[in-house]
Amino acid sequence: MGRTLAQKVWDDHVVRRAEGEPDLLYIDLHLTHEVTSPQAFDGLRAAGRSVRRKDLTIATEDHNVPTTDIDKPIVDPISRAQIDALRINTKEFGIENYELGNKEQGIVHIIAPQSGLTQPGMTIVCGDSHTSTHGAFGSIGMGIGTSEVEHVLATQTLPLKPFKTMAITVNGKLPVGVTAKDLILAIIAEIGTGGGQGYILEYRGEAIRALSMEGRMTMCNMSIEAGARAGMIAPDETTFEYVKGREHAPKGADWDAAVAYWKTLPTDDDAVFDREVIIDATKLSPFVTWGTNPGQGAPLSANVPSPDDFTDEVDKKATEKALEYMDLKAGMPIRDIKIDTVFIGSCTNGRIEDLRAAADILKGKKIADGMRMMVVPGSVRVRLEAMAEGLDKVFLEAGAEWREAGCSMCLGMNPDKLTPGERSASTSNRNFEGRQGPGGRTHLVSPAVAAATAIRGTLSSPADLVGSN
């Protein structure tokens, strides 16, 4: 019987397989950052262990760093101490760290693909659940906890049981104005936040093949919001084209050998998935969340649901609780929801293509009165590329803030936060209670919806702008 993409990549990384034990899996690339690593380095130190493969490990400063005044010392002493700890640890253990101010600094899931470190057929881990992003290249990218970070540092392996596989086939073409973000939000609403538990997802079909690498990264990034530790897309010419020429990409004969290997990875025709989900791309429209988990989403054109719309008691209660927290009335049009802050950025939508999409809509327009809009590039490289294209001017002239690179308002652990009761339209990945700051309310949206919303002041799609302004 044939094998799936996930099974092939998995099998090629098994160091040891024994009855009754998890597989011992080799890790090709270990990404680290300031938040989930200090306790792991302390563990190594306490046990007198070293880092097995410094040359397969990289660090960056992204989660807790400010996105303004980065030339000045970090004001918050606790954040500063955590950054200092990363600098001390990476120096002591011999790991390259892209410090704040370095031209390679940025969000961990943006810097590895952009430098060519992320390639097809790899195993990539990081103490961050959005490591699933790297699956866009046909790799197994997985988020891990701090104990596992320590394990990988010490051994370059992880003991893991094989996952089940789920095919998510997206047939047809996405309608104009519908993006990868709308698609993944619709998929999560369909299978639920727990639907992917125990699975590696593989996104397939015509609509997936048509996506750029940036769009594919957005899709795979949010696999974890459907409960799946990893999501993958088979490598193809789009993938090879993206990787080729980047500084860590294979060169010469190595390139040819790599491409020959990568071409063997796509799922065999006779492979069988444990579960299959089929989505019709042609029926999709811009999609946003109304609740407090990423599965609580609906088309922008819909109304806010009522607890009575659900038969399951757990869903009913969850909806009631979400509406109360979000301060929304059941039945109101989602388009009428008034937004205070628009955030464009994060490992989900902080890449150059995302900034271009938003700038396209904002060009020559102004954001609504009283609106706060923050545009935060995912990396220094993205920032410089955007500035070379003049996108920063578009954002500034529209009335938005143009920031330095980092995780920023995605997760409320740096100065960029919502205040209690403040409502955002955010291109990030999580709308949990308080995620963007205590008491803050988050609606997850695509970059295009974020830009249109900033102009109109209520949740809007670019199509809503026609005839206005």
Partner 1 sequence: METFTVHTGTAAPLRASNVDTDQIIPAEYLKRITRHGFEDGLFNSWRKDENFVLNRPAYQGVSVLVAGPDFGTGSSREHAVWALMDFGFKVVISSRFADIFRGNSGKQGLLTAVVEQSAVEQLWKIIEEEPSTPVTVDLEAQVITAAGFTTKFEVDSYVRWRLMEGLDDIGLTLKHVDEIRAFEAKRPSFKPTTI
Subset of residues 229 to 268 that bind partner 1, contact rule: CB under 8 A:
229, 248-250, 254-255, 257-258, 261
C-beta closer to partner 1: residue 13 or 204: 13
The least distance separating partner 1 from the CB of residue 432, rounded to whole angstroms, comes to: 4
What does the alpha-carbon distance between residue 151 and residue 53 come to, in Å, rounded to a whole number? 12
C-beta closer to partner 1: residue 111 or 183: 111
- Give the residue, chosen from 224, 298, 304, 449, that forms a contact with partner 1 under the rule CB under 8 A: 224
Site for partner 1 in 398-427 (CB under 8 A): 411-413
Residue ranges with strand state E in 147-208: 157-160, 164-171, 199-204
Burial tier of 172 (Cβ tally within 10 Å: 0-12, 13-18, 19+) = middle
- Give the residue, chosen from 79, 133, 267, 428, that forms a contact with partner 1 under the rule CB under 8 A: 79
Eight-class DSSP state of 406: S
Binding mask 268-287 for partner 1 (x = CB under 8 A): --------------------
Site for partner 1 in 84-103 (CB under 8 A): 85, 96
Element (H, E) at 278: strand 275-280
The least distance separating partner 1 from the CB of residue 438, rounded to whole angstroms, comes to: 6
Instruction: For the sheet with 199-204, list strands across it.
Output: 230-232, 199-204, 164-171, 275-280
Percentages helix, strand, coil for the chain (3-state, rounded to 5) are 40, 20, 45
Is residue 318 part of the contact set for partner 1 (CB under 8 A)? Answer: yes
- Give the residue, chosen from 3, 7, 24, 87, that forms a contact with partner 1 under the rule CB under 8 A: 24
C-beta closer to partner 1: residue 229 or 383: 229
The least distance separating partner 1 from the CB of residue 382, rounded to whole angstroms, comes to: 20
Using an 8 Å Cβ cutoff, are 425 and 181 in contact? no
The least distance separating partner 1 from the CB of residue 283, rounded to whole angstroms, comes to: 26
- Give the residue, chosen from 9, 29, 233, 375, that forms a contact with partner 1 under the rule CB under 8 A: 29
What does the alpha-carbon distance between residue 140 and residue 28 come to, in Å, rounded to a whole number? 10
Site for partner 1 in 46-65 (CB under 8 A): 47, 49, 52, 54-58, 63-64
Binding mask 107-146 for partner 1 (x = CB under 8 A): ---------xx-x--x----xxx-------------xxxx
Site for partner 1 in 331-360 (CB under 8 A): none
Q: Which distant-in-sequence residues (6+ apart) come within 8 Å of 390 by Cβ?
A: none
Is residue 177 part of the contact set for partner 1 (CB under 8 A)? Answer: no
Binding mask 422-461 for partner 1 (x = CB under 8 A): --------x-xxxx--x-----------------------
Residue ranges with strand state E in 365-469: 372-375, 401-402, 423-426, 441-444
Site for partner 1 in 361-390 (CB under 8 A): none
C-beta closer to partner 1: residue 289 or 453: 289
Buried b (16+ CB within 10 A) or exposed e, 452-461: bbbbbbbbbb
The least distance separating partner 1 from the CB of residue 213, rounded to whole angstroms, comes to: 16
The least distance separating partner 1 from the CB of residue 157, rounded to whole angstroms, comes to: 6
C-beta closer to partner 1: residue 169 or 436: 436
Eight-class DSSP state of 91: H
Residue with tokens 């020959």, as numbered in its chain: 260
What does the alpha-carbon distance between residue 434 and residue 170 come to, in Å, rounded to a whole number? 33
C-beta closer to partner 1: residue 170 or 228: 228
Kindly state the number of chain residues that form the binding site for partner 1, as judged by CB under 8 A.
Answer: 86
The least distance separating partner 1 from the CB of residue 92, rounded to whole angstroms, comes to: 14
Q: How far are the Cα atoms of 27, 72, 462 from residue 404, in angstroms, in the given order?
A: 31, 13, 26
CB count, 10 Å around CB of 254?
10
> Considering only 151-159, 212-220, 302-310, 371-379, which stretch makes contact with partner 1 by CB under 8 A?
151-159
Binding mask 155-174 for partner 1 (x = CB under 8 A): xxx-x-x-------------
Is residue 22 part of the contact set for partner 1 (CB under 8 A)? Answer: yes
What does the alpha-carbon distance between residue 277 and residue 226 come to, in Å, rounded to a whole number? 13
C-beta closer to partner 1: residue 76 or 206: 76
Element (H, E) at 275: strand 275-280
What does the alpha-carbon distance between residue 202 and residue 165 come to, in Å, rounded to a whole number? 7
What does the alpha-carbon distance between residue 281 and residue 283 come to, in Å, rounded to a whole number? 5
